[in-house]
Amino acid sequence: MKNLFSFLFLLFSFISFSQIQHCGFDFTSYIVVDVHENGKRENLDIIKISLIDKEGKEVINVNNSLSWKDGNKPMFFTKNYLISKEGEKERWFFPYAKDNYLLSVTNTFPAENYSIKVEDLSEKFKTQIIELQSYNLYILCSSENEKQARKFGPRSNSPIDVVME
């Protein structure tokens, strides 16, 4: 009986210490877009940003295959928003994006297959289409970020800079 107890205790200890710590952003990445006029830093407000395929059609998130939210709906970016109360230190819903537009995608999102379409709804600026690359994703968990850091080329975790003309 004592040996059984010792064996179970040892087994439980091994299992509990061998668990991998998970990141709060596991299985999720973000695409962040900074849309502004030339020479200005403020993001434009009357903007529609959509994910499009190679033919220019809006992408539908079929059965949540590309994002964990808004299944079977077109994939549109939303503007990040403040969650802090008045008088508190400024805090954003997605703290890495500040006053930008963002889209939540799965961490297996094939960015190279898609583009973003940036439209000014006030029709003051021209519509722009920008092809996505894997480095456009915000990879937030340390293990994935370390893999990306070892690669050559542009770094992840920076917004796509769109200057409206």
Domains of the chain: which residue ranges? 23-164
**Rounded to whole angstroms, how far apart are CA atoms 129 and 111?**
14
Phi, psi angles (nearest 5°) of residue 142 = -60, -40
Which residues in the chain come in under a pLDDT of 50? Answer: 17-19, 22, 24, 144-146, 149-150
Q: In this structure, what DSSP letter does residue 153 have?
A: S
Quick one: pLDDT at residue 163?
Answer: 95
Residues with Cβ within 8 Å of 27's Cβ and at least 6 positions away in sequence, in order, are: 68, 106, 107
> What is the tens place of the pLDDT at every residue in 46-90?
999 999 999 999 999 999 999 988 999 999 999 998 898 888 888
